[in-house]
């Protein structure tokens, strides 16, 4: 290379001059960009960079674009979709991470960037900060609200367990369920740590909710998400947002039993119940069968005692009341004595009545002897033969009787109490048929019979008339007539 360019610096030409033997030819933008790209990639083919995430954006293609920054500088970065699938957390702005990859350039914008192959949270403090940030965001959405918590079934027929099939957790749960209350258990095997664990756990929780009742795989009444103890990195998959949302959206009541009693994950807040250990989750899920049987037996015994107590109390009350009642014979003694007395009085009365009747019969029978009757008959015949029955005498007596009868009939019609009824008057009698002549008698009678010309009406003083058929009133017989006589005597 010559010490000086083949042109003078103080000379400004209009056209670029290309001299022979020039070893610094003009390069195109693409050529210089490719030279820079190879130089950077060769020099920084493997780097680890620590910084705070900023401008995190996930494209529709699945690639992740972001920036790493510190107090004085910023470095653009990209993580392809394959690396994103192996990522153990959800990148967010403000999280401090350590990114491993290579530096390269992007000719389209004339800048350099890091292609991230692996990204980890920079220390436990940064991890806890990410956890707190994710918890606050999900809590603001209401995923941890107490109102969303559902009561657990008292005695589930089927229990679904989301855990590793080879760990000690599933054995502890099965052993504890067998001791307390043997129950049908369906295990959904998943990874409980490492890449892909969060996706499997979320898929298992959603899978249990998607099972249909009566299908080939029984649908659980309760789901337990369980894992043994470990570090915060080991339990991090249970802080994954996808797992938390799957547990919160589960249609089956869920128990979270992740880690030991001091370990807390976001899955514990989203579940309906948190158990300090997987063994405690089994104890929460089912009651003790022996205690349940003993409790039922105790309730049955209490019920029997309560029934017997009521029966005994009723028996005591019945006996106390029975003691206060007199003897049945005592209740009948007075009536029996009265019956005997009335029977004796009836017998004596009958005998007395029979004696009187016999005496009367004897007295009357004396006048009915044949000789007496024959004598009376003979005397009557003699008086009849002695009578001179002249027609004029008989007719005179008949005419006089007819005249007297007509006069009596006029008097009868004038004195007939029912004659005025046809002229609008009313005949008032009481229940015994006696005439009511005053208001005081009417108020004392209670029930009055009002006889009109066309019928009888019963009324109560001070009230409306009593509706009903008119009773048939007996027709009073004329005075002076004897029973059995067809008509009154003429003379």
| CATH class of the domain comprising 29-121 | mainly beta
The fold adopted by the segment(s) 156-286 is Rossmann fold (3.40.50)
Dihedral of CA atoms 127, 131, 133, 135 in degrees, nearest 10, equals 180
The pLDDT of residue 13: 57
What's the average model confidence in pLDDT over 307-314?
Answer: 92
Answer whether residue 471 shows pLDDT above 60.
no
For residues 479 and 243, the model is more confident at: 243
Q: Per-domain residue ranges for the chain?
A: 29-121, 156-286, 289-317, 416-472
The pLDDT of residue 484: 44
CA–CA dist 444, 451 (Å, integer): 19
- DSSP one-letter string for 190-258: ---SSTTHHHHHHHHHHHHHHPPTTSSSPPPSEEEEEE----TTTTGGGG-HHHHHHHHT-SS-EEEEE
What's the average model confidence in pLDDT over 123-132?
Answer: 74
pLDDT tens-digit readout, 21-76: 666 677 778 888 888 888 887 888 888 888 888 888 888 888 888 888 888 888 88
For residues 240 and 331, the model is more confident at: 240
3-state SS assignment for residue 51 = strand
Which strands, in side-by-side order, build the sheet including 427-430? 427-430, 448-452, 455-459
The pLDDT of residue 479: 47
Burial label, 320 (beta-carbon count in 10 A; 0-12, 13-18, 19+): exposed
The pLDDT of residue 464: 54
What's the average model confidence in pLDDT over 130-157?
Answer: 89
Band of residue 220 on the pLDDT scale cut at 50, 70, 90: very high
| Contact in structure between 468 and 450 (CB atoms under 8 Å) | no
Answer whether residue 179 shows pLDDT above 70.
yes
pLDDT tens-digit readout, 436-456: 888 887 877 778 888 887 888
CA–CA dist 165, 200 (Å, integer): 13
Give the chain's length.
491
3-state SS assignment for residue 486 = coil
CA–CA dist 269, 253 (Å, integer): 13
CA–CA dist 286, 7 (Å, integer): 94
Answer whether residue 251 shows pLDDT above 60.
yes
| Contact in structure between 123 and 96 (CB atoms under 8 Å) | yes
For 161, other C-beta atoms within 10 Å of its C-beta total 29
Q: Is the dihedral of CA 179, 180, 181, 186 positive or negative?
A: negative
CA–CA dist 461, 466 (Å, integer): 11
pTM, two decimal places: 0.48
CA–CA dist 335, 343 (Å, integer): 12
DSSP state of 142: T
- DSSP one-letter string for 240-269: -HHHHHHHHT-SS-EEEEESSTT---HHHH
Band of residue 235 on the pLDDT scale cut at 50, 70, 90: confident
Q: What does pLDDT average to over the chain?
A: 82
């Amino acid at each position: 290379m010559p010490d000086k360019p083949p042109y003078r610096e103080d000379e400004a030409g209009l056209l670029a001059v290309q001299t022979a033997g020039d070893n610094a030819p003009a390069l195109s933008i693409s050529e210089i960009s490719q030279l820079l790209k190879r130089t950077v990639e060769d020099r920084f083919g493997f780097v680890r960079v620590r910084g705070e995430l900023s401008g995190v954006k996930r494209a529709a293609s699945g690639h992740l674009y972001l920036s790493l920054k510190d107090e004085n500088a910023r470095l653009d970065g990209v993580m392809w979709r394959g690396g994103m699938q192996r990522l153990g957390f959800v990148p967010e702005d403000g999280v401090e991470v350590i990114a491993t990859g290579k530096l390269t350039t992007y000719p389209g914008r004339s800048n350099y960037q890091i292609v991230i192959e692996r990204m980890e949270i920079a220390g436990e403090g940064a991890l806890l900060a990410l956890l707190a940030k994710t918890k606050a965001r999900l809590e603001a959405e209401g995923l941890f609200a107490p109102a969303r918590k559902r009561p657990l079934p008292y005695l589930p027929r089927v229990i679904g367990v989301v855990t590793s099939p080879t760990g000690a957790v599933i054995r502890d749960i099965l052993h504890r369920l067998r001791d307390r209350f043997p129950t049908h258990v369906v295990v959904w095997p998943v990874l409980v740590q490492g890449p892909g664990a969060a996706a499997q756990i979320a898929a298992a929780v959603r899978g249990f909710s998607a099972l249909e009742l009566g299908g080939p795989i029984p649908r659980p009444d309760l789901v337990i998400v369980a894992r043994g103890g470990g570090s915060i990195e080991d339990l991090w998959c249970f802080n994954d947002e996808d797992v938390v949302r799957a547990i919160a959206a589960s249609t089956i009541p869920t128990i979270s039993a992740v880690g030991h009693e001091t370990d807390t994950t976001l899955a514990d807040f989203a579940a309906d119940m948190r158990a300090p250990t997987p063994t405690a989750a089994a104890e929460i899920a089912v009651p003790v069968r022996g205690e349940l049987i003993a409790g039922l037996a105790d309730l049955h015994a209490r019920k029997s005692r309560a029934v017997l107590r009521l029966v005994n109390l009723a028996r005591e009350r019945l006996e106390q009341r029975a003691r206060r009642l007199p003897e049945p014979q005592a209740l009948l003694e007075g009536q029996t004595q009265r019956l005997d007395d009335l029977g004796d009085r009836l017998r004596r009365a009958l005998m007395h009545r029979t004696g009187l009747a016999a005496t009367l019969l004897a007295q009357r029978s004396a006048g009915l002897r044949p000789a007496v009757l024959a004598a009376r008959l003979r005397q009557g015949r003699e008086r009849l033969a002695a009578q001179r029955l002249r027609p004029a005498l008989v007719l005179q007596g008949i005419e006089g009787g007819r005249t007297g009868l007509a006069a009596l009939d006029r008097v009868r019609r004038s004195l007939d109490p029912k004659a005025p009824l046809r002229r609008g008057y009313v005949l008032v009698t009481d229940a015994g048929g006696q005439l009511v002549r005053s208001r005081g008698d009417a108020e004392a009678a209670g029930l009055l019979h009002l006889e009109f010309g066309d019928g009888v009406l019963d009324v109560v003083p001070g009230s409306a008339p009593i509706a009903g058929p008119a009773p048939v009133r007996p027709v009073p017989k004329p005075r002076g007539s004897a029973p059995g006589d067809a008509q009154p005597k003429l003379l």
